[in-house]
């Protein structure tokens, strides 16, 4: 049997295999950010399909940090009962589950939040909308919000949390030289730009303890001129390793404005797979932490090679599980055909229309005569 299917430990979590469902905006929460029955069923499908570790969407830690409709929330104690049901949906079918914690910052949706988005630096203008620059009190509130959300995740039975510092969201904005033009203790040098991450990590640890898994999703490359690049991302990961971080998921790209988004199209053969491998290798040279790698992995052969060559320790996927939530069980049964996902990114349209995440291409094929 492939070592990908062997049980493995990650910071005390016993996982049945090395496959991870990378956090994906399901678009299935209520308008108030509450867990719904459809969201529970989505998580249950992934768990029944054999995924070892599920990372559940980007849950906003403050109301003004909401990125889009149907987004899960982690900002209020009233959400804990629903989060408890979500964790139970994974555990019932043998999967571990993390809650990804996030704040959209510059890219928050004012139509949903009812207030202008905040920015690390107000001077940065990628569009015509104005943003309010975070002051020291705002940052202190942000740190406490992440810690409180992590406490809710633990109380609800999640096996750990992941801090979202990728794809142009607020923590990534602090790290990115493009977005961070501050002249105080949170701007300038990399040590300063990673400061809020260290403060959040310390606050989370005070809330949930040293034994609770805390991971980060980190952009290895922003993919935009003036943005974060691999060497600085690796140096940031090393700083966070020293601060007590447990693992890094390596991603790249931004939600908007970048040369490429976080989910690239046209992954139609092995040569196009694992497009974040160079960034993972750069980070691997600087840290000893376990690495999760996401980005264009579509075949079992590529996944096995990444593990065998020491590029990463866990294989993370998103779009393939949208089309085939049972992909891991299919591979484990001996059917080694690549994932059916065609990387057309049509799946990212429905959540914005309130329909929830699904594979549009598969739905069309099913309807075809």
Mean pLDDT of 61-88: 97
183 exposure class (CB count in 10 Å sphere: 0-12, 13-18, 19+)? exposed
Query: Considering only CA atoms, which of 145, 46, 31 is closest in space to residue 87?
Result: 46
State yes or no: pLDDT of 91 exceeds 60.
Answer: yes
State yes or no: pLDDT of 258 exceeds 60.
Answer: no
Query: Who's near 20: CB < 8 A, 6+ residues apart?
Result: 51, 52, 53, 54, 55, 249, 292, 294, 314, 315, 316, 317
Q: How confident is the model at residue 261 (pLDDT cuts 50, 70, 90)?
A: low
CA gap 147, 152 in Å, rounded:
9
Query: Considering only CA atoms, which of 341, 255, 330 is closest in space to residue 298?
Result: 341
State yes or no: pLDDT of 259 exceeds 60.
Answer: no
Q: Annotated active-site positions, please? A: 169
Residue 49 has φ and ψ, to the nearest 5°, of -75, -5
Residue 14 tokens, joined = 């016993």
Q: How confident is the model at residue 342 (pLDDT cuts 50, 70, 90)?
A: confident
pLDDT digits (tens, 9 = 90+) for 14-38: 999 999 999 999 999 999 999 999 9
The predicted pLDDT at position 128 comes to 74
pLDDT digits (tens, 9 = 90+) for 174-187: 999 999 999 999 99
Q: Which of 164-178, 241-255, 352-366 has the lowest mean pLDDT?
A: 352-366
Q: How confident is the model at residue 203 (pLDDT cuts 50, 70, 90)?
A: very high
All structural domains of the chain: 3-367 (3.20.20.70)
Question: In b/e form, how buried is each residue of 1-34, taking b as 16+ CB within 10 angstroms?
Answer: ebebbeebebbebebbbbbbbbbbbbbbbeeebb
Do residues 292 and 51 lie in contact, with contact meaning Cβ atoms separated by under 8 Å? Answer: no
Virtual torsion, Cα 229, 289, 152, 9, nearest 10 deg: 140
Q: How confident is the model at residue 353 (pLDDT cuts 50, 70, 90)?
A: confident
Q: How confident is the model at residue 262 (pLDDT cuts 50, 70, 90)?
A: low
The predicted pLDDT at position 337 comes to 95
Mean pLDDT for the chain? 93
Query: Considering only CA atoms, which of 211, 219, 231 is closest in space to residue 179?
Result: 219
Residue 242 tokens, joined = 């020293």
The predicted pLDDT at position 361 comes to 84
- For the chain, percent of residues with pLDDT exceeding 70: 96
Mean pLDDT of 90-111: 96
Q: Which residues pair with 254 in a beta bridge?
A: 167
pLDDT digits (tens, 9 = 90+) for 43-59: 999 999 999 999 998 99
Q: What is the 3-state secondary structure (H, E, C) of the chain?
A: CCHHHCCEEECCEEECCCEEECCCCCCCCCCCCCCCHHHHHHHHHHHHCCCCEEEEEEEECCHHHCCCCCCCECCCHHHHHHHHHHHHHHHCCCCEEEEEEECCHHHCCHHHHCCCCEECCCCCCCCCCCCEECCHHHHHHHHHHHHHHHHHHHHHCCCEEEEEECECCHHHHHHCCCCCCCCCCCCCCHHHHCHHHHHHHHHHHHHHCCCCCEEEEEECCCCCCCCCCHHHHHHHHHHHHHCCCCEEEEECCECCCCCCCCCCCCCCCHHHCCCCHHHHHHHHCCCCCCEEECCCCCCHHHHHHHHHCCCCCEEEECHHHHHCCCHHHHHHCCCCCCCCCCCCCHHHCHHHHCCCCCCHHHHHHHHCC
Q: Which of 72-76, 256-260, 335-339 has the lowest mean pLDDT?
A: 256-260
């Amino acid at each position: 049997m492939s070592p990908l299917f062997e049980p493995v430990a990650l910071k005390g979590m016993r996982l049945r295999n090395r496959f991870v469902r990378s956090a994906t905006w399901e678009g299935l929460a209520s308008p108030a950010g509450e867990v719904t029955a459809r969201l529970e069923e989505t998580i249950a499908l992934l768990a029944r399909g054999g995924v070892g570790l599920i990372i559940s969407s980007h849950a906003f830690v403050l109301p003004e940090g909401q990125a889009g409709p149907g987004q899960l929330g982690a900002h209020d104690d009233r959400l804990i009962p629903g989060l408890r049901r979500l964790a139970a949906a994974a555990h019932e079918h043998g999967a571990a589950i993390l809650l990804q914690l996030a704040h959209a910052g510059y890219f928050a949706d004012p139509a949903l939040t009812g207030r202008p988005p905040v920015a690390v630096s107000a001077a940065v203008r990628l569009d015509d909308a104005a943003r309010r620059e975070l002051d020291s009190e705002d940052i202190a509130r942000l740190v406490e919000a992440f810690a409180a959300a992590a406490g809710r995740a633990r109380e609800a039975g999640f096996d750990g949390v992941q801090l979202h510092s990728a794809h142009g969201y607020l923590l990534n904005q602090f790290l990115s030289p493009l977005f961070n033009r501050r002249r105080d203790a949170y701007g300038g040098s990399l040590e300063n730009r990673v400061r809020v991450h260290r403060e959040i990590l310390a606050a989370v640890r005070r809330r949930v303890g040293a034994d609770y898994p805390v991971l980060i999703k980190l952009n290895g490359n922003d993919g935009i001129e003036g943005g974060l690049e691999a060497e600085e991302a690796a140096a940031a990961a090393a700083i966070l390793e020293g601060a007590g971080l447990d693992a890094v998921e390596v991603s790249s790209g931004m939600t908007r404005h970048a040369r490429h988004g976080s989910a690239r199209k046209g992954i139609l053969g092995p040569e196009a797979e694992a497009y974040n491998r160079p960034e993972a290798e750069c980070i691997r040279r600087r840290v000893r932490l376990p690495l999760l790698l996401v980005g264009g992995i579509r075949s079992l052969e590529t996944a096995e090679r990444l593990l065998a060559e020491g590029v990463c320790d866990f294989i993370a996927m998103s779009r393939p599980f949208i089309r085939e939530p049972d992909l891991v069980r299919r591979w484990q049964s001996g059917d080694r055909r690549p994932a059916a996902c065609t990387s057309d990114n049509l799946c990212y349209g429905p959540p914005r229309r309130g329909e929830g995440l699904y594979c549009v291409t598969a739905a069309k094929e099913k309807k075809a005569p």
